[in-house]
Amino acid sequence: MLSRYLLAPLVPFALLLAGEKPMTFLDVLQVRTVSDGTLSRDGKWFAYSVSSLDWKAGKRFTDLHLTETATGARRQLTFTADKNETDPAFSPDGQWLAFLSDREGGAKQVYLLALGGGEARKISDVAGGVTSFAWRPDGKHLALLGGRDDQRQIYLWETGAAGYAKQARKHATPVASFRWAPDSSAIYFTAPDEINALERRRMELKFDVRIVDTPKAPLHLWELPLPVNEARRLTSGAEFSVTAFQAAEKGGWIAFTGADPDRHNTDIASQQADAFLVHAPTGKLERLTKNSVREGVPVVSPDGKWVAMTAPDDFQYFRRQRVYVRSTAGGEWRKAPGNNWDHEVSQPEWSRDGAKLYFDTGVSTSRNVFAIDAASGAIQQLTDRPGSLTATYHRDTDQFILSATDAMHPNDYYIAPAGAAGQLNRWKKMSEANPQISEFALGATETVRWKSTDGVMVEGVLVKPTGYERGKRYPLIVQVHGGPASATLAGFAGNMGSYHHVFAAGGYVVLAPNYRGSTNYGEKFRAQIAGDYFRQGYEDIMAGVDWLIAQGLVDPERMGYMGWSAGGHWSNWTLTHTDRFKAISSGAGAMNWISMYAQNDSQFNREHYFSGKPYDNWDNWWSQSPLKYIRNAKTPTLIHVGHDDPRVPRPQSEELHMALKKLGVPTEFIVYPRMGHGLTEPRFQMVKMVAEYNWFEKWIKGKEKWFDWKELVESVQ
């Protein structure tokens, strides 16, 4: 049985509302997540997957659910306790639901379930498993991509046929990705021009040394006509490698992005993919951009006459994202929206009539849906809901599929008419993944604003303790988001990084500030830290702390600070610039920007933030490294890092830990095996939360016990 220590802090009963209970660490991990939401072509059915935690097994497993849209009646479709079903896709006639599953053990295969009832039928048996699949638009076939990485090919299953899917014409090299032509006449796919067969052989023979930046052949576009015939090449050469593509409904256009395939330019290539347009019937290729920024995957209008893409304003790196529109026949780009709207545009989708481009983006502490008039560039906000939502446009029914969360509710799916998305009474709820949340006493959450040291208004999300009493001062936890080009939204805080309601149950105030460098507050706000990375963001955060103290809400003698990634960077800077906090938790944080430049997998954006390469601007890089100021550190610090983190590699945390040990500052260091920049295993997520929370309990509240492995080990017996 799980102990009280493992589950949650002790909370005086008087602080709990009647019939409610405090949220625990295990409750956080047991928040179910919804994904893969999809609507049938006729709009009658909605399918989605729900991922649930099996704590004893230490894994998450996924099942499929189905909702009748007219009535809202929901039912679970699959019940494989220790297996996974994902990626549901309705047949065009709405009679069948295809999905991926590992229910028979081994790699995932494609299964088919009749919506009228019956058992699921397996329709693929590919060695190495299936990675993706898609229905032919006319419903006559289902295509799938399967096989081991170096042998992956396209397979076809004829609707209603007996037996398994059969391999289509074998391509000379492994297929990387595919899409159906909207008119069902062909399959478009990407594949490299050559494959290094010796590479696999040397691995099998244990000559498995890793060659850094191994040369790779560029990926190119091909067309496989149906009935299956010879594949036809659509792109070629060493100038670019196709990274993503979309096929237009009309006109025969394929829009794609292509990156530099140079083996030594991998970081630059990820930031500088250009846009292209190829006319499949004629093979005519047009390069739409050639610059040093990254464009989004172009999308062609339903009538085939217009192409739109996202790119930084005026095609300058780190500017706000805009939409650019022009004729597929050529001509000048039109930029939208205008300069009077200072927010980002995400990857857009064309409306059914081609008159609008839909997208969702963050403004302040919420994310909502917007539309751009394709002709005038005028922008319109379609939803105005606190929290966060992402939207997918369903062209067949002219509706949005919305994944929405707010401070009191985890993500669930809704559908809403595109023309009435702002009317919440027109939303239909498709999922109810976490009914247990209503049982918990959650901390009241609000967006707060304060004035920073330079007079600029800064926002953040504030969570008050359960049973909050006006006039009483509480201990504070400052929880700093990563990025830094990101933002804390007023959605449900239910993960190992933002478990605000556990802190609220323990009597803490939590402040999650959107400091300088954050998104959602305009281009200047986000870009201001370039060249002077920490100073203003740190002052923004500390001004927020001082504002809470002035409000009489926070006890200045009982404060803690935590963050992961960029939040870890700021934790390390705060550690070396103030002793006002009683405890700090630093997750995957940078200490020495000079050494990290070569250690990590992303140099391009570092050069932007720190004004060039360290070899050319050494003093600036060192002056913004927390290690330079490490002798100022006095605060007990808990350090976390993934053993195999490529983004903020382990040596950064080792530099911090060694320095604190040598300086006699209390510290503990947790390294999570097999983990990269985030922690994906539930056991490790639990360790992180329990250790972190109790580190604050020890140093802020004086609790003797910090961490007890016996409690965790017994929890899974």
What per-residue confidence (pLDDT) applies to 265?
A: 73
What per-residue confidence (pLDDT) applies to 213?
A: 81
Sequential DSSP letters for 544-596: HHHHHHHTT-EEEEEEEEEEETHHHHHHHHHHTT----SEEEEES--S-HHHH
Residue pointed to by tokens 């295509």:
143
Pairing, β 74-76 against β 274-279: unpaired
Pairing, β 153-158 against β 141-146: antiparallel
What per-residue confidence (pLDDT) applies to 3?
A: 45
Greatest pairwise CA separation for the chain in angstroms: 77
- Which residues fall within 8 angstroms of residue 296, CB to CB, at 6 or more apart? 257, 275, 309, 310, 311, 321, 347
> φ and ψ at 544, to 5 degrees?
-65, -40
Q: How far apart are CA 488 and CA 60, in angstroms?
A: 25
Q: How far apart are CA 332 and CA 348, in angstroms?
A: 19
What per-residue confidence (pLDDT) applies to 4?
A: 41
What per-residue confidence (pLDDT) applies to 313?
A: 95
Amino acid at 215: P
β partners of residue 479: 562
- Whether the bond into 227 is cis, omega within 30 of 0: yes
What per-residue confidence (pLDDT) applies to 270?
A: 67
> φ and ψ at 659, to 5 degrees?
-60, -45
What per-residue confidence (pLDDT) applies to 268?
A: 66
The torsion defined by the Cα of 435, 439, 442 and 444, in degrees rounded to 10, comes to 80
Q: At what angle do helices 535-550 and 566-575 cross, to 10 degrees?
A: 70
Strands (E), 82-202: 85-90, 96-101, 109-114, 121-122, 130-135, 141-146, 153-158, 166-167, 177-180, 186-192
CATH domain 437-714 topology: Rossmann fold (3.40.50)
What per-residue confidence (pLDDT) applies to 269?
A: 62
Residue pointed to by tokens 């032919």:
136
Pairing, β 388-394 against β 379-381: unpaired
Low-confidence ranges of the chain (pLDDT < 50): 1-19
Six-digit token pair at 525? 């706000």
pTM (2 decimals)?
0.94
Q: Rg (Cα) of the chain, in Å, rounded?
A: 27
